[in-house]
Structure 1
């Protein structure tokens, strides 16, 4: 067996297991909710209360159906269309990454105090955003309590 044949076989086995689990889910859904409906009929209650578990569980069953029978990977045509859309819209090829050490825009004016100065205290470097001032104030109060 080649690697691609082994991969295809593993994928087929996984799909069959997923389908078996789905059909088990359908059987349990029908049996359990049928039992609830029988209880409702035997008790003779006026309001059809099994609608609540039927509806809630039905939503889960619908999502399980979608997960089981929808295509797992997008087609090559859809991939190409998305790539063309991204290029025409000016979307960068790779989204920007979060880089450690870079701050969010609202706290950019804050930086740590240089060594030898006041410990554990943020120093304001010219930002005027209210959140930056609030963070600086909180950091200064915490430093005063700790120091």
Structure 2
């Protein structure tokens, strides 16, 4: 977490807390769906579909909130492009 401002740290903390809330809701709702399935005769395992769909969304939520913030940073991309440009000038 290099050179993150106080505002950026607060935003990152907010996003990570939101992810944890999302994870708890995911677990509670999906456990309830599986319980309903079990209590109603255990036929076709239909709860697998909401579990899979929502699980995919949860994985992306995790990736965006816990991966490096540099991945989607305009400042980092600008610095990378500027560095590439400077290397070309040195090589010529």
Give the structure-1-normalised TM-score. Answer: 0.47
Corresponding residue pairs, total: 78
2:14 alignment counterpart: 17
1:45: how far off?
2.8
| Bigger RCO of structures 1 and 2 (CA < 8 A, at least 6 apart) | 2
1:64 alignment counterpart: 61
1:44: how far off?
1.3
Moved over 6 A (4+): none
Structure 2 residues not aligned, in runs of 5+: none
1 or 2, which has the higher helix percentage? 2
Structure 1 residues not aligned, in runs of 5+: 88-147
Q: What is the rounded CA distance, in whole Å, between the counterparts of 2:29 and 2:84 in structure 1?
A: 46
**Aligned-CA RMSD value:** 2.6
Residue deviations 1:111-142, cap 9 Å, x none? Answer: xxxxxxxxxxxxxxxxxxxxxxxxxxxxxxxx
Q: What is the rounded CA distance, in whole Å, between the counterparts of 1:15 and 1:44 in structure 2?
A: 44
2:84 alignment counterpart: 83
1 or 2, which has the higher strand percentage? 1
Residue deviations 1:22-78, cap 9 Å, x none? Answer: 0000000000000000000100132111000000000100000000111111468x9
Q: Which residue, out of 20, 44, 48, partners 1:47?
A: 44
Q: Mapping of 1:29-48 within 5 angstroms?
A: 29-48=26-45
Q: Which has the larger radius of gyration?
A: 1
| Secondary structure, counterpart of 2:69 in structure 1 | coil
Give the structure-2-normalised TM-score. Answer: 0.73
